A and B are shown apart, each in its own frame.
Chain A
Amino acid sequence: MVAIAREYTIDELMVVTLARQFRSEDIVLNGTVSFIPVAAILLARATHAPGLTWVAGAVGVDAQPEPLIGNTLDPTMWKRCVMYLPQEHMWSYVHRGVLETFCIRGAQIDQYGNINNTVIGDYARPKVRLPGSAGMGDMGSLDKRIFIWTTTHTPRTFVERVDFRSCAGYLDGGDSRERLGLKNGPQLVITNLCVMDFEPQSKRMRLKSVHPGVTVEEVQAQTGFPLIIPKEIPRTEPPTVEEICLLREVIDPHGMRRREFRSASGRE
């Protein structure tokens, strides 16, 4: 009998939901400012996926750092790793599909899971210049299973059409991604309000579960395009007592994961 946690917060629910997506055979690397994915990777490894390989900051193979202290690309995260992975080797593993799982967030996300982290407005004279595509410009086109997370579920983040496609999701929907020869793609979208996946035929975003206290109407109102909404929408599966204890006491006692809620723009 697994004990369900009575009290938990949205950041904890997001970490736990993401952690449950990882499998024991996965090799997962993380990018910059990725406290929620890193906490989720460590939680998965400590619970249902002990065989999971984490490449810390895309460098430290199977690292065993102390609690998260900040900066998810910093060498402090590589502690007790078995190898510093030269980045050119990392890219060969990414291209060949050895590394198959990646987590991405961005300033804009559209109904087919395409992501923009480049500009708002025109590329040459943008209204807002965002940081840039970085690894998402690669991972979307390299057959990855992509997990999208965002702490700002608003119509500004979830838009009908992204201003710039920094990361290839399901492109124009249907079989358009497949026709370009790209495998896999976005699997799940985990936000501060709900969990969504993609309807297999149209590849449109579909509501899967809502977090406690959130209504289906509220999710739709905060999304800038019509979601596919099945008849029965369950409550997002709550964390267990074990997951919450590990997260709060061992993996992230300083609450680094909450830093991702600091900026409302999602642009940092």
Chain B
Amino acid sequence: MTAKKANKIMSLAEAASLVRDGDIVALQGMGTQMSPLAFVRELIRVGKRDLTVVMIVGGIGLDWLIAAGCVRRVIAIIVNLDEFGMAHAFRRAVETGEVVMEEYSEHQLLSRLLAGAYGLPFLVTRSGLGTDLLAIHHETLRVIACPFTGREVIACRALEPDVAILHAHRADAYGNVQFFPKPIWLDVDVFPRAARRVIVTVEEIVENEEIRRTPIHTGIPYFQVDAVVEVPYGAHPCSLYPFYSFDRRLFQEYASASRTVEGTRAFLEKYVYGPATHEEYLQRVGGAEALLRLRQWA
């Protein structure tokens, strides 16, 4: 963790070098919302391997990473493409044993991450009593008796990701990160506090003075952040409300392409390996005209 009040602005490639093969990577994303997908495309292009990806709700970025062979293990409560259906690369990889799925209920995973964020060995929950989730996680979930009442609770072992990757509305060069509105989803709230390193991509880098004028929007302070990358439309095809909506057309294209291994590969060629830069990617998904449409969601 870089406590320094220093300039942390990097390129996508520089920031991607902070992720090592084998890392536990906490990746922001909530269905079709707020996911650092430009960064995910960079991770795929540089060919990261053996990652453990933590997402509360696994989505399209995770499915791409799996299809590209970057992932060994997934820690999540659900993986799908929201209203667009199954995450097929995920499904195939778990069915063949290529990727291990470590599934939790939402509050179990939150408890693991909060324990990490507090530096505690575990936190307890009642979520999942009576389910088979307890039987598959002997190393991370154990039923214990409350020392005060004797009542059964589940101890959820701390989880500290090596690196958290998020996409936000704006930040200054030091890594004071602002959201509009402030963080609501669990990953935005807890990932930066539980992780050892934090990489944030933003729509816009602003002056430190602008942050000081609007501290009510700051969700992550500079002393938690290691890298800041300016990537307009960095969540595309996911949304970053209120700036832009998700790209229904691209979600649909991926949902049908990913039904086969060949289709998935062709999609990655076209949208991930093909464009050399983020700007080229934005051209390929329709350029200014298509992006303007996404801005007019309301």
Interfacial residues, chain A to chain B (CB-CB below 8 A): 32-33, 59, 70-76, 84-88, 91, 94-95, 117-118, 123-129, 131-138, 140-142, 164-168, 171, 177, 180-182, 259, 263, 267-268
Q: Is the CB of B95 within 8 A of A127?
A: yes
Interfacial residues, chain B to chain A (CB-CB below 8 A): 30-33, 57-58, 76-80, 82-83, 85-87, 90-91, 94-95, 97, 101, 103-108, 110, 125-133, 136, 151-152, 181, 183-186, 189-190, 239, 241-242, 245-246, 297
| Chain B, residue nearest A91 (CB) | B107
Report the Cα distance A71→B97, complex, angstroms. 31
B31 CB, nearest partner CB in chain A, Å: 5
Which residues from chain B contact A171 at a C-beta distance below 8 Å?
Answer: 130
Please count the residue pairs between chain A and chain B whose beta carbons lie under 8 angstroms apart in the complex: 154
B142 CB, nearest partner CB in chain A, Å: 15
Known: A88-B110, A134-B77, A135-B77. 14 other contacts (CB 8 A): A32-B31, A71-B32, A88-B190, A91-B110, A126-B94, A127-B95, A129-B90, A131-B79, A131-B87, A132-B58, A132-B79, A141-B126, A141-B129, A263-B85
Q: Is the CB of B133 within 8 A of A137?
A: yes
| Chain A, residue nearest B181 (CB) | A84
A105 CB, nearest partner CB in chain B, Å: 13
Which residues from chain B contact A84 at a C-beta distance below 8 Å?
Answer: 181, 184
Known contacts: A71-B31, A95-B126, A171-B130. The answer to whether A138 contacts B107 by CB under 8 A is yes
| Chain B, residue nearest A177 (CB) | B130
Q: Is the CB of B130 within 8 A of A87?
A: no
B266 CB, nearest partner CB in chain A, Å: 23
Report the Cα distance A71→B87, complex, angstroms. 16
Q: Is the CB of A33 within 8 A of B82?
A: yes
| Chain B, residue nearest A75 (CB) | B241
Q: Is the CB of B103 within 8 A of A141?
A: no
Known contacts: A84-B181, A87-B184, A268-B86. The answer to whether A131 contacts B78 by CB under 8 A is yes
**Among A87, A133, A177, A180, contact of B103 (Cβ-Cβ < 8 Å):** A133
Report the Cα distance A134→B104, complex, angstroms. 7
Q: Is the CB of A73 within 8 A of B30?
A: yes
| Chain A, residue nearest B241 (CB) | A75
Q: Is the CB of A126 within 8 A of B95?
A: yes
Which residues from chain A contact B297 at a C-beta distance below 8 Å?
Answer: 76
A24 CB, nearest partner CB in chain B, Å: 27
Which residues from chain B contact A71 at a C-beta distance below 8 Å?
Answer: 31-32, 82-83, 246
Report, nearest first, the 7 A-B pairs whose CB atoms are least far apart.
A137-B105, A168-B130, A132-B78, A134-B78, A138-B127, A129-B94, A131-B80
